[in-house]
Amino acid sequence: MLNLGIIGCGAIGTDVAKAADKMKELNKIFLYDVDKNASGELNKILKKSEIKPVKEFLNDVDIVFEAASQKAVEEYAESILQKGIDIILMSVGSLLDTDFKNNLENTARKNKCKIYLPSGAVCGIDGVLSASIDEVYEVTLVTTKPPVSLGKKYERRTIVYSGDAREAVKKFPMNLNVAASLSIAGIGFDKTKVEIVADPVVNRISHKILAHGSFGRLRAEVENMPNPNNPKSSYMASLSAIATLKRIVNPIQIGA
């Protein structure tokens, strides 16, 4: 039986906590959010949960799930890994800093634990990961969003960004963890191309991955339903996080 710590009790953290509450492999769930109301409300509807500061629950958990912010990753990830605890990161954009990313990798390796990066709101990352074993020539992510999702107004379809993933993650830190995950799985932040489109006609967020390499060609597209608890977040991101947690506790491993 394993214990789980959750950092961030927003829409995704709530979805994961509810799913974890039903998993027989998990014994206890510890909740933390800077917003005490968020953790308090979530705690009321769970059977296995308890509210506890991160530094305190690290002595009691086997896995930590982060769905808070890049700042939270910077604050807690290293200390979690130093204790030999596996961590699931949703704020993948925090790994944009190469030195920070390498430090976490080295810490995890030294303490024999894992850093899990869910696919999030996109499909096709497994394919890019497999393809990267050999030569990959090009990877492009095309993200199309309703203007409201970007906090702006557009009367017609507009390309709001076209460039590399590194700059995309910097300019849209709340919107493009997908680009970060894709870059790490494939050819890196500087070679991965990103196009962000605002389209007033659409009412759902879509992500399309295009890749070309020695393996052949890959095209994967998903049109996401919004999370019922937060329209700015894709429901697929929550499902991906839950699937990652189930993969950790399940003896059968599927995927690249």
Is residue 213 in some structural domain? Answer: yes
**Residue 207 among the catalytic residues:** yes
Is residue 88 in some structural domain? Answer: yes
Is there a single domain that holds both residue 217 and residue 135? Answer: yes
**203-to-22, 36, 141, 149, 198 alpha-carbon distances in Å:** 32, 32, 19, 9, 11
CB 125 within 8 A of CB 119: yes
Is there a single domain that holds both residue 95 and residue 149? Answer: no
Is there a single domain that holds both residue 214 and residue 172? Answer: yes
pLDDT digits (tens, 9 = 90+) for 7-20: 999 999 999 999 99
pLDDT digits (tens, 9 = 90+) for 153-189: 899 999 999 999 999 999 988 778 899 999 999 999 9
Is residue 39 in some structural domain? Answer: yes
CB 68 within 8 A of CB 230: no
Is residue 18 in some structural domain? Answer: yes
Q: In the chain, at which residue ranges do the beta strands (DSSP E only) sit? A: 2-7, 26-32, 49-51, 63-66, 86-89, 115-116, 136-145, 158-164, 193-198, 205-213, 216-224, 226-227, 230-234
Tokens of 167: 């700059």
Is residue 30 in some structural domain? Answer: yes
Is residue 153 in some structural domain? Answer: yes
Between the CA atoms of 68, 72, 73 and 76, what dihedral angle is there, to the nearest 10 degrees? -130
Is there a single domain that holds both residue 33 and residue 101? Answer: yes
Between the CA atoms of 149, 153, 159 and 162, what dihedral angle is there, to the nearest 10 degrees? -60
Q: Which residue has the higher pLDDT, 149 or 85?
A: 85
CB 51 within 8 A of CB 32: yes
Is residue 94 in some structural domain? Answer: yes
CB contact set of 109 (below 8 Å; sequence gap of 6+): none
Is there a single domain that holds both residue 92 and residue 143? Answer: no
Q: How many domains is the chain built from?
A: 2
Is there a single domain that holds both residue 144 and residue 208? Answer: yes
Q: Match 């510890």 to its residue by tokens.
A: 30
**Structure confidence at residue 209 (pLDDT):** 97
Q: pTM (2 decimals)?
A: 0.93
Q: Which of 119, 120, 112, 54 is nearest to 86 (CA)?
A: 112
* Options 28, 52, 207, 208, the catalytic residue: 207
User: What's 38's domain CATH number?
Assistant: 3.40.50.720
**Structure confidence at residue 255 (pLDDT):** 77
Rounded to whole angstroms, the Cα distance separating 27 from 103 reads 31
Is there a single domain that holds both residue 98 and residue 7? Answer: yes
pLDDT digits (tens, 9 = 90+) for 90-115: 999 999 999 999 999 999 999 999 99
pLDDT at 228 over 90: no
> Containing H/E element for 136?
strand 136-145
Is there a single domain that holds both residue 9 and residue 102? Answer: yes
- DSSP label at 149? G
Tokens of 254: 């599927």
Domain hosting residue 100, numbered range: 2-116+236-249
- DSSP label at 228? T
Is there a single domain that holds both residue 53 and residue 157? Answer: no
Is residue 254 in some structural domain? Answer: no
Query: Mean pLDDT over residues 60-77, rounded?
Result: 97
